[in-house]
Structure formats: structure tokens, C-alpha cells
Amino acid sequence: MAAHTYISISELHPNFSHPKVAGIVICKSDVRSFPDRKNIGTDRFTCGFTVKDSPDFFINVTAWGNDGYVNGLSNSFSVGDCVTIENPLVSNKDPEKGDKFCPTTPSLYRLLVTEAHSQVLLCADVDTIDRLLPLIHMPVKDSRDFYSLGDIVANGQKLDGMVINVLAAVKSIGEPKQFTTSDRRKGQRLEVKLFDDSVSSFPLICWDREAIQLVQTLIPKETVLFIADTKISFDSFRNGMAATVNSKTIITVNPDTREGSLLFSYAKEVSESGTLDQDEKPEDVTVDSITDVYTVSQLKEKAQDNPEAFFGITYSFISKLDLDSSVSKVIKNRCSRCRFQATEDMQSCTNQFCPGRDQVFSATTGFDLLVDFTDHTGTVHACNLRSPVAENTLGCTTEEFTSLTDDQRTAMKWKFLLERCKIYVKIFPSTKTKSGIRGVILDCSLADPGEVKQHMSALLQRP
């Protein structure tokens, strides 16, 4: 099908006969039903989606019909698919009726499709698909027109009830929770945690099944979202602000903008550095309250089954502890505001997004080690061991460590290397490490042999 047979969205008009439109689906709503006033006792079904055919033009499409037609149509494509719409009815938008609950579009019109008169098909023309695909990464609003998460937190309840644009990265994606309302309607809810350079965790709530399906495909810590027209509300349960995806919201994944690229680079760097995990405050549980004991293989298994971080104890050997590396690899200077590494001259932060970049620079100095630990079932690589836990483990301060000779550092290393230790750890699932998990060490000390024997016997008996 040749591309020139399509009418562009910007040229659509109600007077056109048998128009044919091609576009990429940038938004989609759930199927809904309403009592049919003409046929008492039956329901009419509807679903909506939004298509885009150029950087500046997109339009809402609404399908009406019986259960089989509308659900079949909805299931035939997803956000990001290219579709052709043949013979839709081009009608004026009605801001007081249906269009009130649809995404805001630059077009004066909307498209209506029905089983009897219209067809919506996946686009089969390669040239048209190649032209449309890049549009999925172009936000529907000005790429500079957004609130940072820090702006939202700072404004607080002043933004309660407002609809705004947000640019943020995905930190984690929760599990969908099903529920039944008082009138016996089934619903679902999913929470996404967002972050940016100013806030380490901010909730985005999804209620719509289509929105939930979209966010479940995203990769945490590797995805940036431009969220157009999200509703901001004060959450009394959290005592803080939260964003909600609604029927007017359009989410652009990994937006092709300067601001999006900068945030993507920040997200990648902060993820790889482990700083984001540090922001989750390993102290949110006390070491004394951690009682579950795991082998390394059990830690890996639980991380595969559980997308959330968890805590545990492992009796393992320290198999890598590079205390005799150069001091700059053992002790690092970090910005006291964003925890990114400072420049070598201690004059500035390496994070171009640092919230304190316009203020007098200050840094903290501490141990910053990557440790491997091993037991008879496997190895966990590259666990973070940082101050102040590292000071307690090594028994010296950073100042004392820098004054040690090479031989003394090596002796300190061998005090722990290949020794069985009792390690309290916070575990995060990770696709970036050999072991599939990443850990933050909360406490580490040489293990008591009697305690090891007791716990290892119990682990061996565990099914």
C-alpha cells in the first residue's frame, strides 16, 4: 500500500469521503461498556486510542460496537504498533462530552470507527512503518515543559489536583494488585517508583489495564518517561505527593530529547554506581532485626522470584577484597548532596544534574569497596562495602588507612580474605552482574565457628 494514499492527520476534514489514515499508536485506553439506550438490556462497548503521523500532529480514535468487535479490535494492536484506519468518520471534537476524558490533541477533529463502516489494521507498508516508528519517542508536549520530581516535592500540596507533565526515570515496577469494588466491579492497581537527579523515589500509580501492560514492559533504571498530563495528588497515607496515570495521560518511553538523553545518562550512571541503592537507606531495618539466613544460591533464587530488595544473613568467605589497590580505588570523595563522585581536585561534582551545582561545593570522604563473597553454592560479585560499615569492619578510619604501608594493607586484606564471615546484606535483583544480584553489605565480621556450624546444619536440612 503506497504511503501517498494516506491522508495526513493535519489535513483531515469532515467533508472527506472514505479517508485512510496511517499512524503509530501512542496511547490506548481500556475497553468499557455502557447500557444501550436503544436496546434495553444490552450493552454497547467502546475503546479509544491515539495515533500520531508526524512530530506535531496526532488524533484520538474511538471505536464503538458490540463486545466481540470492540474487544477483538483492542486486542489486535498495542501502543507502539503502526496501524491504518480505513473509512473512519471524521467528526468535530466535543470538549464537553467524550473528548473531555481523552488526551488533548492539536487536531480539531476525532475519528470514529465502527464494525460496519471502518477497518483498523496493522500497517503492512515497510516505508510507512519506518517513517512512523521514530514518532513513538517524541513527546506530545514541549520537551522543556515539565516538572522535575524535586519541583513537585517542593511545591507540595500547592499542586494537589493539578495536571502537569513530568520527566523521570523508572526506579522499580511493583506487582499489579487486583481488587473488587463495593459494586462488584473488578479493578487493578500498579505502582511504579520514579526517580531523577533531585528525588530518589516518587510514586506513579496506574489503574488502567492498558497503562499497566505498558509499564510492565519497561526496564527499571534503564528507562526514562515523559509523562504528559498526569494528575498530581496529595497522598494522605504516604503524607506526600503522588502522580496518577489517567485517561488523558500519554507516556512517551525514552523520549528523543536533550532533556531525556541527559536524564537517561544520569540514570545509567547512578544505577551502575550503586548510589541509587544507597538512597534506599540500608538502615531502614536494623541489623539486629535481620534473622533470615541464606546460602549464596538461595539469595540468587529469592532475587529471581522477588523484584523487591530484601535482607538476609550469609555465612560466606570473602573471596575478593582489594585493599592493596591504589588508595583512590579504596577511598573515594563523594558530593555530600547527590553522593556522586567528586572530581580529583575535590572542587566540583561529576554529576551534571547535581541539585547543589549552583552552591558552594562540599564533599565527604569514605571507603568505597566492591567485595565478592563465596560459599559452597556460588559467589555474589561486586557487593558495595562503604563507610561507615567499612570502618567498623576493617577497624580503622580512612585517615588511618591512608597512613598504612603497602605491607600493612596486604596484611589487613588477608585478615578477611578466605575467612568465613557473618555478612548482613541487602540484596537487589540486577541484570548487570555475573551473579544476577547486587548487594550492599550492612555489617561484616569474622564468624564464630560454632554459630556457623549450627546455621549451616539448619540450611542443609531446609527443603
Residue 191 reports pLDDT greater than 50: yes
Domains of the chain: total = 3
SS3 121: strand
Q: What is the rounded distance in angstroms from the CA atom of residue 7 to the CA atom of residue 14?
A: 12
Q: Are 49 and 61 in contact (CB under 8 A)?
A: yes
Residue 384 lies in a domain: yes
Q: Are residues 269 and 309 in the same domain?
A: no
Instruction: Check residue 368 and give its pLDDT.
Output: 87
**pLDDT for 304-344, tens place per residue?**
877 677 899 999 999 999 888 888 888 888 776 666 677 66
Q: Are residues 130 and 49 in the same domain?
A: yes
SS3 420: strand
Residue 199 lies in a domain: yes
Residue 2 lies in a domain: no
Q: Are residues 438 and 291 in the same domain?
A: yes
Measured in degrees and rounded to the nearest 5, phi and psi for residue 357 equal -65, -20
Most confident of 106-115, 264-273, 359-368: 106-115
Q: Are residues 305 and 193 in the same domain?
A: no
Q: Are 324 and 310 in contact (CB under 8 A)?
A: no
Its sign, for the CA torsion 386, 391, 392, 393, is: positive
Q: Are residues 263 and 331 in the same domain?
A: no
Residue 52 lies in a domain: yes
Whether the bond between 95 and the residue before it is cis, its omega within 30 degrees of 0, is: no
Q: Where are the beta strands (DSSP E) in 236-362?
A: 240-245, 250-253, 310-320, 331-335
Instruction: Check residue 451 and give its pLDDT.
Output: 79
Last residue of a domain, one of 84, 101, 135: 135
Burial class of 30 by CB neighbour count within 10 A (0 to 12, 13 to 18, 19+): middle
Q: Are residues 130 and 250 in the same domain?
A: no
The CA R_g of the chain, rounded to the nearest whole Å, is 27
- Say how far residue 451 (Cα) sits from the centre of its chain: 40
Residues in the chain: 463
Residue 382 lies in a domain: yes
The CATH number of the domain where 310 resides is what?
A: 2.40.50.140
Mean pLDDT of 434-456: 80
Mean pLDDT of 60-65: 94
Q: Are 340 and 334 in contact (CB under 8 A)?
A: yes
Beta strands 109-114 and 58-65, pairing class: parallel
Which of 156, 292, 332 shows the shortest CA–CA distance to 233? Answer: 156
Q: Are 436 and 304 in contact (CB under 8 A)?
A: yes
Residue 139 reports pLDDT greater than 90: yes
Residue 249 lies in a domain: yes
Q: Are residues 348 and 294 in the same domain?
A: yes
Residue 275 reports pLDDT greater than 90: no
**pLDDT for 166-179, tens place per residue?**
999 999 898 888 87
Q: What grid cell was written down for 331?
A: 577511598
Residue 251 reports pLDDT greater than 90: yes
Burial class of 319 by CB neighbour count within 10 A (0 to 12, 13 to 18, 19+): middle
Last residue of a domain, one of 280, 308, 332: 280
Last residue of a domain, one of 81, 102, 135: 135
Q: Are residues 335 and 382 in the same domain?
A: yes
Supply angle C-alpha 188, 192, 197, rounded to 5.
Answer: 165
Residue 141 lies in a domain: no
Where does the pLDDT of residue 1 fall: very low under 50, low under 70, confident under 90, or very high at 90 and above? Answer: very low
Q: Are residues 249 and 309 in the same domain?
A: no
Give 172's Cβ-side CA count (13 Å radius): 17
Q: What is the rounded distance in angstroms from the CA atom of residue 50 to the CA atom of residue 65?
A: 18
Residue 130 reports pLDDT greater than 50: yes
Mean pLDDT of 297-308: 83
Q: What is the rounded distance in angstroms from the CA atom of residue 191 to the CA atom of residue 280?
A: 17
Where does the pLDDT of residue 183 fall: very low under 50, low under 70, confident under 90, or very high at 90 and above? Answer: low
Instruction: Check residue 100 and give its pLDDT.
Output: 76
Residue 409 lies in a domain: yes
Where does the pLDDT of residue 3 fall: very low under 50, low under 70, confident under 90, or very high at 90 and above? Answer: very low
Q: Are 251 and 271 in contact (CB under 8 A)?
A: no
User: Which residues lie closer than 8 Å to 252 by C-beta, 6 or more apart?
Assistant: 26, 136, 137, 138, 139, 140, 225, 226, 227, 228
Instruction: Check residue 63 and give its pLDDT.
Output: 94
Supply angle C-alpha 293, 435, 195, rounded to 5.
Answer: 90
Per the prediction, the chain carries an average pLDDT of 85
Where does the pLDDT of residue 244 fall: very low under 50, low under 70, confident under 90, or very high at 90 and above? Answer: very high
Q: Are residues 64 and 211 in the same domain?
A: no
Q: Are residues 167 and 105 in the same domain?
A: no
Q: Are residues 444 and 303 in the same domain?
A: yes
Q: Which domain holds residue 166?
A: 149-280
